[in-house]
Structure 1
Amino acid sequence: MPPDLLWDDVQPLFDPGLTGSLPDLCVPATSTGDWQTLLDLAASGQWRYEYTEGDVASPLPRAEAVFSRPLDAETASLRVWPAPHMLAIFRFYDPTQIDFDVDLREIHGQERLDVFCAFLKTIGQRLGKPVLMDAEGGDPRSHPILGYRVEDDQVAVVHGPLPLRG
């Protein structure tokens, strides 16, 4: 099966000098149930993970419990390693959008790109929603540079907004 993206074609999109080292990724139009699906996916054993509140590691909670915490509670994060030395950090800001970032310095070459694409594809397939990436500080919903496309079941370079699914 051919790769979704070819490193030689997309290498500039993974240049931290152009896009920032921590691009913004999101799954738009989500619910607490979608967050729970993500937590269940992390707990499935496919990836190494760690859930923290502030600097304290804790057992993986239910999504409802995370979003019902007081507004002044420590920041909740889910760190997921799709591969050794490749970290994605999910932040529980809002149940209506799954926000996370990755370090582009950890994604170089075709093999690492394939792992990254498989990670996005797994999330998108499980949720049945697009997974969008934009440059650091950008808004992936309005100006994605690449993303998992549900209708094509692949990760592709994006030339305009992907359709959102609720």
Structure 2
Amino acid sequence: MPDLLWDDVKNFFDPELMGALPDVAVPGTTVEDWQTVLDLVRDRGWKWEYREDGVAVPLASAADMVSAVDREVTADLRVWPVRGVEVIFRLYVVGEVSFEVDLRELQGQAGVDLLMQISDHDRSYVGEACADDPRGGRGPSSAGV
């Protein structure tokens, strides 16, 4: 039985109520934690693409990704853990692993289960609690992920 049931959390997955693209953040992270995220994506065999200022570029390591902050470049790692669902990891600051998901892609129990898998993997790899903000800020978690 899943930890979260759709009927118990469906309001948190309502794009009209929560916004379509809530941010999820793991604060207190390091370059090594970003490398752990890259390792997770590669280990799981998920399709991914790294972009700087919207242009796809090769990515060898988290150190390369983190250097974008120093170069004042917008960096994001787009990941497709399953077909039809995109998770975008955004590098705003080195000390926080941030990602967003499109709630329209996560409807029903399968969507809840997938988000929990991603959050659980993120937590187990990085070892920190996740917090989400439905409006793109950095507030307290509303969905408990």
TM-score by length of 1: 0.80
For these two proteins, the number of residue pairs brought into alignment is 145
Structure with more helix by fraction: 2
State the Cα distance separating 1:78 from its structure 2 match: 0.2
Give the whole-Å Cα distance in 2 for the aligned partners of 1:118 and 1:88.
12
Percentage identity across paired residues of the two chains: 42
2:131 paired with 1:146: no
2:112 paired with 1:109: no
Moved segments of 4+, more than 6 Å: none
Work out whether residues 14 and 103 of structure 2, in 8 Å CA contact, stay in contact via their aligned partners in 1: yes
Work out whether residues 130 and 147 of structure 1, in 8 Å CA contact, stay in contact via their aligned partners in 2: no
Residues 1-166 of structure 1 aligned to structure 2 (within 5 Å): 2-69=1-68, 71-140=70-139, 143-148=140-145
Structure 2 residue runs without a partner (length 5+):
none
Structure with more strand by fraction: 1
Tell me, what secondary structure is at the counterpart of 1:137? coil
Work out whether residues 37 and 127 of structure 1, in 8 Å CA contact, stay in contact via their aligned partners in 2: yes
Structure 1 residue runs without a partner (length 5+):
149-166
- Higher relative CO (CA 8 A, sep ≥ 6), structure 1 or 2? 2
Alpha-carbon RMSD: 1.6
Work out whether residues 25 and 96 of structure 2, in 8 Å CA contact, stay in contact via their aligned partners in 1: yes
State the Cα distance separating 1:29 from its structure 2 match: 0.6
Out of 56-65 and 4-13, give the one that drifted further. 56-65
Change (3 A) 1:70 1:131: closer
TM-score by length of 2: 0.91
Give the whole-Å Cα distance in 2 for the aligned partners of 1:31 and 1:74.
18
